[in-house]
A and B are shown apart, each in its own frame.
Chain A
Amino acid sequence: GQQVMQIPQYQHVQEGEDFTTYCNSSTTLSNIQWYKQRPGGHPVFLIQLVKSGEVKKQKRLTFQFGEAKKNSSLHITATQTTDVGTYFCAGRNNQGGKLIFGQGTELSVKP
């Protein structure tokens, strides 16, 4: 079945350093979504990418969708302590319906 792999599992950075998490799907995706889950909280939707090669930015966050629509990345520039949490990608395949999540990348930021 469809699988979404995400790396790394953990990332510890110094405040001000950059951070990137990568997501790979075993099948072509119709779209990919990114979520953030703060410690003790629930996932919150950040953004959706639909087009091949699409790049979207939200302030210090840059999201990319691969040309083959099988991989994606989230890059945070100059991390802040407020960026702490677990970042998940979630893919929906061309058959629709199922929203499959990656394992998540837990980001910790040292002040």
Chain B
Amino acid sequence: DGGITQSPKYLFRKEGQNVTLSCEQNLNHDAMYWYRQDPGQGLRLIYYSQIVNDFQKGDIAEGYSVSREKKESFPLTVTSAQKNPTAFYLCASSLQGAGRGAFFGQGTRLTVV
């Protein structure tokens, strides 16, 4: 089955540690996105990538880093510089150019203690 997979579903980390969230898609989509969802604030764009080996900052990129070495994969690292990392993180992918609808993964709920 084609789809977009995020892992793990729940993640706990100690303050000061970096953590990497996985996002893999087998939909052959060019574009991939990372969003953060907090209660009452909707989805805020962290990073997006339109093509392999290229990515752009979204509205809240500070404290996060990404890589896009393969078309299928777009991992997000939450660094210790991110002041409020506890949140629900959603990865999405879409076909590039035609403004197609984005497919979302199930999300990773990160809790930093």
Contacts and interface: CB of A to CB of B under 8 A. Distances in A.
Contact of A31 (B59, B99, B103, B107): B99
Interface in A52-111: 88, 90, 92, 96-104
A97 B50 CA distance: 7
| A interface secondary structure, majority | strand
B101 A33 contact: yes
A42 B9 CA distance: 12
Given A98-B58, A103-B42, A45 B103 contact: yes
A45 B40 contact: no
A42 B106 contact: yes
B72 to A, nearest CB: 19
Contacts of B85: none
B64 interface: no
Contacts of B56: 97-98
